[in-house]
Structures are given as C-alpha cells and as structure tokens.
Amino acid sequence: MAGDTRGRMIEATIEALERRGVAGMSFTEVLRASGAARGAIYHHFPDGKAQLVAEAAALKGEQVDDRLAALPASDPATVVSAFLDLVRPVLELSACGGGCAVAAVTVGTEPGDDTALRAVAATAFTSWIDRLAGRLGTAGLSSAAADDLATTLITLLEGAHVLCRATGTLDPFDSVVRTAAGLTAQYG
C-alpha cells in the first residue's frame, strides 16, 4: 500500500495521529510526509479529513490486530509476556511524545465527526480484545477469564500510553508489566 499515493497519505496520517492527534494534525503535514499533491486530498478522500482519519485509524487497528494474531499461545504467561514485549517499543515512543493513533480519534474531533470516529476506535479496540482473548483461550484460559484479561491488558496499554507521554518515562508501563505479571499468575 505504501507505494501508492492514497496508501502513503494514510500511513502519513497514522504517523500524524500518533504525534499530534486529530486536532493537531494538518493536511499540509500529511501532504509533505506522503509526497502527495494538494489535489490528492479530495480526490482520494472526498469526505475530507474525517474520512482520511477514519481510514488511517482503521488501518492501524488492522495492523495491530495482525500482530496480536501472531502472539505465541503456549500458556497464558507466554501470551501476556509476548504482548508486553510487542507493545514496549510503542510505549517507548509514547514516552517521547507519541501515542496511539486509534485512541487519538476518540478526542479532539470536530462535532459530527466524533460519533463515526469513536465507532472506528471501538471496532479496533474490540478486535484487539477479541484477538488477545482468542490467544489466551488457545493458551488454556476459559472464555470469560480470557475476555477479562484481554480487556484489562488493552485498558492498561491505552492508559500507559497517556501516562508515559505525560511523564516522559516508561515508569507507568513498567508498573503495567509488573501488574500484568501478577494478574497472569492467578491463571497458573
């Protein structure tokens, strides 16, 4: 996808959402990063910024879901450890001012766009929880326990994004890692 103009614009939007959120990103930034001409915006995204942002967040959601699908699932502790290892580099970026492109579409949106963008985020988060719960189920947890632990892990991840960005450190994520290990120990 990254070779075509539309795809480059979506990838540039993901990066802009991670750095500045919806309110802080601009078409100028997306055009500069993607190498697209100004006319490409409404050619590829006739509904404007809301469409571009929605498609970027949806793609990021799918990319994360694909990575979660590849987590090893020999036992619950392995799933959780692999998940935490997978997201650590992302949290390192949060400590330097980055963030989650999917979470970014839930705040700072224009009136009227917020409902559709929140739905995109809800779909992505639900898919991540379902995928993680599936891996935990494969690892031996009951469906209810897998759902609860997966929901907790995604909630901890998104909260850690905000706290790591606010503090400029990985300390909040390190707390999440310790807490997740303790929670996982409950499941043997």
pLDDT at 33: 94
CA 145 to chain centre: 23
pLDDT at residue 110, as a whole number: 66
Contacts of 152 (CB under 8 A, 6+ apart): 180, 183
What count of other Cβ atoms lies within 10 Å of the Cβ of residue 148? 16
Q: Which two tokens stand for residue 134?
A: 């599936």
Longest dimension (CA), the chain: 57
Per-residue pLDDT of the chain (188 residues; tens, 9 = 90+): 445 999 999 999 999 999 888 888 888 899 999 999 988 888 999 988 889 999 999 999 999 999 999 999 999 999 999 999 999 999 999 999 888 999 999 886 666 667 889 999 999 999 999 999 999 999 999 999 999 999 999 999 999 999 999 999 999 999 999 999 888 888 76
User: How far from 136 is each of 64, 69, 83, 188, CA to CA, in Å?
Assistant: 16, 11, 11, 12
CA-to-CA distance for 128 and 102, rounded, in angstroms? Answer: 11
Q: What is the pLDDT of residue 109?
A: 64
